[in-house]
């Protein structure tokens, strides 16, 4: 079976760095077993492609709107002529375009004259945010240029850079403010570590409004990234605080920040030399992962508006927060006491609850939680490959493959859940092709007139056996994560 890799648009550094310990690489096929099915709780919808073999989301983001619109990247029938394009999903590499899917129809938003593009999310006005290749090669790196874009009226609009060749945007609020980062013209030895499309010049956290970029500065180092903007206009991200290589991490000291009213506030760390933000809610609470003193392990953190709080673990050595809801519930993963593995967790009001895997899987991770307290994520084989999409609610864990009717796609992970309970999943067809799948609660589907998907020709057990493990969305060898994995992995195997 062909080896699949994630689209480059999935993995900006800001969601990747703290997970390095989990990336003891492997591509083992899924081995979990099917359980007996009750009446389907969800209707599964394969959103399809644009004529090519694969579709995928871009994460982390609000991948589904509250009206059920799905965004992401989907491959076309055309082949990408650049042989080593970082945006390729598989070989041969197909051109992949940003899409919007609504009411059963996928709209191709094209690209800025390049082969690859993707959307992260839409705001309340239906304006999307993402990234696209421009059709030019970066003369300093020799790889395709990528620019931050918004989508409006069915087309992509270039947001430009700060004078360099690269920019990136993955968050937009209802005011139309866009957060991301952009390159300037100053050469920099560290910027190539940050994104799948590396830059040879400095990257700066950037806030676009009305199409105009605002350089948010840094915490004293050469580079910064703006990851998220909330409805208040606050921006969260991370920044180097200096340009000096640390022996333990191999990179300069990096701290998370919260920018508001023109000021970038250093949120500090839990004692180590590196910390990264993974999400921010509309109250300005920020979560992520931070090394502890000595940089031998890392813990999940919460910026509660006053201080950085260590959320702890499930008794083990490491963990990371992936998401925080507007009600303050935090989802993530943490090592379990006495075991060489990790479980998802849900933290609220000082208490961390274990979100265990289903079936025979050893490990699990929670990617998102909605305001109703429902968390979604995946069973994993503890080495960076996701085996089955999971829903945790009311103290129980459910393999989502058992909550839908017979369906041709094996659901390998659930990466987002909206307030209506609709769930965005990534799954695989029996031939290994990737698909974005929307799960709609049965009651909502009935009100919308949706029907169950047609039955697959494979029996469920055969379908599960044919499915492959899907690499974790935060696993990308071209980000800083890949650079650090070799040094951090041994310390977590000891």
Question: DSSP letter at 15?
Answer: G
Query: Taking 50 as the threshold, does the pLDDT of residue 460 lie above it?
Result: no
What does the pLDDT average to over 24-52? 63
Burial label for 215, CB within 10 Å (0-12, 13-18, 19+), is middle
What does the pLDDT average to over 77-83? 88
Query: Taking 50 as the threshold, does the pLDDT of residue 25 lie above it?
Result: no
Note the pLDDT tens digit of each residue in 45-75.
Answer: 999 999 999 999 988 889 999 999 999 999 9
pLDDT for residue 421: 96
> For 272-353, where are the alpha helices, taking DSSP H only?
none
Tokens, residue 122 = 């839409």
Q: Which of 247-261, 442-456, 476-490 has the highest mean pLDDT?
A: 247-261
Note the pLDDT tens digit of each residue in 185-230.
Answer: 999 999 988 868 899 999 999 999 999 999 999 999 999 999 999 9
Q: What are phi and psi of 200, to 5 degrees?
A: -95, -5
Note the pLDDT tens digit of each residue in 158-171.
Answer: 999 999 999 999 99
Report the SS3 class of residue 228.
Answer: strand
Reported as a pLDDT band with limits 50, 70 and 90, residue 20 is very low
Q: Which range among 22-36, 91-105, 148-162, 459-473 shows the weakest confidence by mean pLDDT? A: 22-36
Reported as a pLDDT band with limits 50, 70 and 90, residue 24 is very low
Query: Taking 70 as the threshold, does the pLDDT of residue 348 lie above it?
Result: yes
pLDDT for residue 338: 86
Note the pLDDT tens digit of each residue in 381-398.
Answer: 998 789 999 999 999 999
pLDDT for residue 448: 87
What gap in Å lies between CA 77 and CA 160, rounded to an integer?
Answer: 28
Q: What are phi and psi of 245, to 5 degrees?
A: -70, 130
Which residue do the tokens 């000082």 mark? Answer: 350
Given a contact cutoff of 8 angstroms between Cβ atoms, the answer to whether 63 and 424 are in contact is yes
Which residue do the tokens 């940003």 mark? Answer: 98
Given a contact cutoff of 8 angstroms between Cβ atoms, the answer to whether 427 and 409 are in contact is yes
pLDDT for residue 195: 67
Report the SS3 class of residue 445.
Answer: helix
β-pair type (94-102, 201-209): unpaired
Which residue do the tokens 């990136």 mark? Answer: 168
Query: Taking 60 as the threshold, does the pLDDT of residue 485 lie above it?
Result: no
| Long-range contacts from 210-218, C-beta under 8 angstroms, 24+ separation | 210/176, 211/157, 211/159, 213/159, 213/160, 213/161, 213/162, 213/167, 213/182, 215/162, 215/182, 215/184, 216/259, 216/264, 217/264, 218/264
pLDDT for residue 38: 59
What gap in Å lies between CA 354 and CA 342, rounded to an integer?
Answer: 10
439 CB-side CA count, 13 A: 31
What gap in Å lies between CA 494 and CA 483, rounded to an integer?
Answer: 20
Percentage of the chain lying above the pLDDT 70 cut: 83
Query: Taking 80 as the threshold, does the pLDDT of residue 116 lie above it?
Result: yes
Query: Taking 80 as the threshold, does the pLDDT of residue 458 lie above it?
Result: no
* pTM (2 d.p.): 0.87
Report the SS3 class of residue 44.
Answer: strand
Kindly write down the DSSP assignment for every residue of 309-354, as one continuous string.
Answer: EE---BEEEEEEEEEE-TT--EEEEEEETTSS-EEEEEEETTEEEE
Reported as a pLDDT band with limits 50, 70 and 90, residue 452 is low
- 400 or 15, which is more confident? 400
Report the SS3 class of residue 325.
Answer: coil
What gap in Å lies between CA 345 and CA 234, rounded to an integer?
Answer: 26
Note the pLDDT tens digit of each residue in 180-189.
Answer: 999 999 999 9
Q: What are phi and psi of 369, to 5 degrees?
A: -145, 140
């Amino acid at each position: 079976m062909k080896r699949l890799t994630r689209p480059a648009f999935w993995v900006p550094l800001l969601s990747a760095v703290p997970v390095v310990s989990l990336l003891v690489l492997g591509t083992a096929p899924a081995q979990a077993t099917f359980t007996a099915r009750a009446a389907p709780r969800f209707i599964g919808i394969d959103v399809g492609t644009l004529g090519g073999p694969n579709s995928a989301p871009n994460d982390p983001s609000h991948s589904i709107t509250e009206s059920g619109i799905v965004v992401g990247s989907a491959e076309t029938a055309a082949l990408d002529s650049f042989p080593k394009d970082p945006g390729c999903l598989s070989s041969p590499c197909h051109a992949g375009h940003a899409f919007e899917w609504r009411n059963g129809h996928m709209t191709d938003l094209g690209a800025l004259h390049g082969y690859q593009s993707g959307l992260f999310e839409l705001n309340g006005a239906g304006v999307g945010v993402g990234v696209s290749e421009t059709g030019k090669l970066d003369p300093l790196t020799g790889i395709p240029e990528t620019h931050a874009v918004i989508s409006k009226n069915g087309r992509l609009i270039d947001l430009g850079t700060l004078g360099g060749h690269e920019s990136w945007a993955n968050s937009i609020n209802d005011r139309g403010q866009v957060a991301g980062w952009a390159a300037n013209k100053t050469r920099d030895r560290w910027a190539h570590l940050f994104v799948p499309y590396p830059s040879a010049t400095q990257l700066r956290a950037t806030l676009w409004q009305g199409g105009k970029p605002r350089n948010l500065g840094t915490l004293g180092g050469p580079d910064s990234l703006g990851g998220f903007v909330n409805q208040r206009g606050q921006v969260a991200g991370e920044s180097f605080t200096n340009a000096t290589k640390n022996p333990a991490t191999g990179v300069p000291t990096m701290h998370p920040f919260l920018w508001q009213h023109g000021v970038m506030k250093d949120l500090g760390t839990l004692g180590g030399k590196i910390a990264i933000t993974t999400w921010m809610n509309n109250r300005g609470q920020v979560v992520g992962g931070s090394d502890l003193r000595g940089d031998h392990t890392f813990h999940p953190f919460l910026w509660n508006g006053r201080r950085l709080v260590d959320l702890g673990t499930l008794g083990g050595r490491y963990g990371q927060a992936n998401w925080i809801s507007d009600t303050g519930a935090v989802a993530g993963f943490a090592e379990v006491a006495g075991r060489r593995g990790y479980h998802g967790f849900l933290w609220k009001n000082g208490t961390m609850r274990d979100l265990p895997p289903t079936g025979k899987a050893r490990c699990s991770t929670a990617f998102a939680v909605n305001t109703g307290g429902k968390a979604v994520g995946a069973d994993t084989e503890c080495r960076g490959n996701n085996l089955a999409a999971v829903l945790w609610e009311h103290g129980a864990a459910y393999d989502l493959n058992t909550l839908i009717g017979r369906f041709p796609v094996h659901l390998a992970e659930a990466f987002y859940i909206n307030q209506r309970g609709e769930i965005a999943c990534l799954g695989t067809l029996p031939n290994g092709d990737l698909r974005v799948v929307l799960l709609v609660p049965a009651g909502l589907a009935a009100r919308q007139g949706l029907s169950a998907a047609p039955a697959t020709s494979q029996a469920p057990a055969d379908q599960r056996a044919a499915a492959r493990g899907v690499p974790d969305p935060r696993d990308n060898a071209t980000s800083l994560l890949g650079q650090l994995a070799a040094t951090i992995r041994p310390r977590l195997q000891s």
